[in-house]
């Protein structure tokens, strides 16, 4: 959520920043609602002050208060209640309007949509795979790594079943990611997969993207819950409504979870196999920081994501997203995209983002030093470290051998107990 003070003081600057996303947002109605809330607050305070004055005078009166004073006090009480009700309705409309505003893009973010995304570096070379390299789908079938038919039979379209060496490689990846982050000082969390709506709101995913997640049907009067679309949603909400000691920042966390999303996929050639589905595995990194720690945290998270790909020996590129391609909650995002030869294209494998204080305002996460009286909102950052559903086909294709076997990346060999599939 944006800072209302910034909107009041510089509405044209905020509007221009949002325009970088391609959004022409009229801020006047929001500012009008803000004025109405503040005006009602003033009226409530004035009525309450008058009521308090009458009560004080009645308390100083010897004997029974006069009927006129009693009637006036009663009328003021009723007026204050009516004003509070009106204020609640106006505040609700104001907060809904504020919740719908996206984050302001960071100064380094280019204006425009996907076409303005900027490749900032590449690592490695596209592998020489000979004249007739196999696609990941062909390699999966050849070695029995994934059973798509039985996955669909069990759960429906856009689900799959890892089998044999495919399941082993998937778990070897997750185990290695977890150990890597744990050994480097990140705190490991295994959060619930079912979350309350407040968690989706705090992360900035609700209300705009509420229809993109799976919701759990509940009996009338029961608590609504949804399946988390990413561990980021859970990690952000660990400290919702809390004040964190500034001396403990940055707080570095990570979690492994499946991710559940109501995304289409599977029909396009570049989304077949495990490239896109309703459920996939991901290890997510997260940091809670003070504002002046944000740039260092962003560099660290991006470096960690890239290091994992380098250790896996995979060719990739890193892209600074343009404002129109950055998610609504984030101020700046770098995508790390891995090369998938069969589709002759790169696919996002990690998004590393800085939300500034946008998420923390929604989740009411603040910080304060031990000698400070005032609190301030923390800044939050997240990065995939890594998602496996697109990593899996990249490994199969980039590490395939001339005889159709697959060289297992070195970090995974100890867990899998071999250096080659096939």
Of these residues, 21, 51, 362, 390, which one is catalytic?
Answer: 390
Q: Is 15 a catalytic residue?
A: no
Q: How confident is the model at residue 264 (pLDDT cuts 50, 70, 90)?
A: low
Can you tell me the distance from the alpha carbon of 43 to that of 324, in angstroms, rounded to the nearest whole number?
A: 41
What's residue 66's pLDDT? 80
Is 276 assigned a catalytic role?
A: yes
Strand partners, 244: 367
In tens, the pLDDT along 172-182 reads: 999 999 999 99
User: H/E element holding 234?
Assistant: helix 231-237
Cα angle at 332 between 346 and 11, to 5 degrees?
140
Specify the pLDDT at position 222. 85
β 379-387/279-289 pair status:
antiparallel
Please tell me which residue in 276, 361, 362, 366 is annotated as part of the active site.
276
- Say which of 21, 51, 225, 261 is annotated catalytic: 261
372 a catalytic residue = no
Res 225: pLDDT? 94
Quick: pLDDT tens for 160-176.
999 999 999 999 999 99
Task: Report pTM.
Answer: 0.93
Are the beta carbons of 181 and 188 closer than 8 angstroms? Answer: yes
pLDDT value at residue 73: 86
348 classed as catalytic: yes
pLDDT the model gives residue 269: 62
Provide the pLDDT confidence category of residue 36 given band limits of 50, 70 and 90.
very high
**pLDDT value of position 88:** 96
Q: Which two tokens stand for residue 195?
A: 């979350």
CB 161 within 8 A of CB 154: yes
- pLDDT of 268 reads 63
User: Residue 240: which pLDDT band, with cuts at 50, 70 and 90?
Assistant: very high
3-state secondary structure (DSSP) of residue 72: helix
Distance CA(254)–CA(232), nearest Å, equals 9
Tell whether domain 114-421 is in CATH 3.40.640.10: no
* Interacting residues of 118 by C-beta distance below 8 A, sequence separation 6+: 110, 319, 320, 322
pLDDT tens digits along 295-347: 999 999 999 999 999 999 999 999 999 999 999 999 999 999 999 999 999 99
Q: What is the DSSP letter of 262?
A: -
| 79, 141, 348, 420: the active-site residue | 348
Structure tokens given for 65: 């208060």
Sign of the Cα pseudo-torsion (239, 241, 245, 249, in order): positive
Under 8 Å between Cβ of 399 and 313: yes
Known catalytic membership, residue 179? no
DSSP structural state of residue 400: B
Rounded to whole angstroms, the Cα distance separating 354 from 325 reads 14
């Amino acid at each position: 959520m944006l800072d209302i003070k910034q909107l009041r003081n510089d509405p044209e600057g905020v509007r221009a920043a949002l325009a970088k996303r391609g959004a022409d947002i009229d801020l006047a109605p929001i500012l009008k609602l803000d004025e109405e809330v503040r005006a009602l607050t003033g009226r409530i305070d004035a009525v309450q002050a008058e009521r308090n004055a009458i009560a004080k005078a009645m308390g100083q009166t010897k004997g029974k208060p006069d009927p006129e004073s009693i009637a006036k006090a009663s009328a003021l009480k009723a007026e204050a209640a009516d004003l509070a009700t009106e204020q609640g309705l106006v505040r609700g409309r104001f907060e809904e309007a504020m919740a719908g505003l996206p984050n302001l893009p960071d100064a380094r973010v280019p204006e425009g949509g996907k076409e303005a995304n900027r490749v900032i570096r590449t690592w490695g070379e596209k592998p020489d795979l000979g004249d007739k390299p196999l696609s990941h789908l062909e390699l999966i079938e050849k070695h029995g790594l994934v059973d798509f038919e039985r996955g669909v039979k069990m759960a429906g379209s856009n689900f799959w079943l890892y089998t044999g060496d495919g399941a082993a490689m998937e778990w070897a990846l997750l185990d290695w990611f977890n150990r890597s982050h744990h050994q480097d000082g990140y705190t490991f969390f295994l959060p619930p997969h079912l979350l309350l709506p407040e968690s989706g709101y705090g992360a900035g995913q609700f209300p705009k993207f509420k229809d993109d997640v799976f919701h759990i049907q509940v009996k009338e009067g029961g608590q609504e819950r949804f399946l988390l679309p990413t561990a980021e949603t859970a990690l952000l909400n660990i400290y919702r409504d809390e004040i964190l000691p500034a001396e403990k920042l940055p707080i570095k966390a990570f979690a492994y979870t499946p991710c559940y999303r109501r995304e289409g996929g599977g029909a396009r050639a570049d989304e077949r196999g495990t490239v896109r589905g309703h459920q996939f595995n991901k290890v997510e990194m997260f940091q809670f920081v003070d504002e002046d720690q944000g740039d260092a945290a962003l560099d660290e998270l991006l470096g960690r994501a890239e290091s994992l790909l380098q250790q896996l020996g995979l060719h990739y590129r890193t892209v600074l997203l343009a404002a129109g391609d950055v998610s609504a909650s984030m101020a700046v995002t770098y995508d790390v995209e891995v090369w998938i030869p069969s589709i002759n294209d790169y696919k996002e494998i990690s998004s590393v983002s800085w939300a500034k204080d946008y998420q923390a305002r929604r989740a009411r996460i603040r910080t304060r030093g031990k000698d400070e009286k005032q609190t301030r909102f923390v800044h939050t950052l997240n990065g995939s470290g890594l998602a496996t559903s697109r990593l899996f086909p990249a490994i199969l294709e980039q590490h395939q051998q001339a005889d159709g076997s697959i060289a297992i990346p070195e970090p995974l060999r100890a867990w899998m107990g071999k250096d080659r599939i096939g």
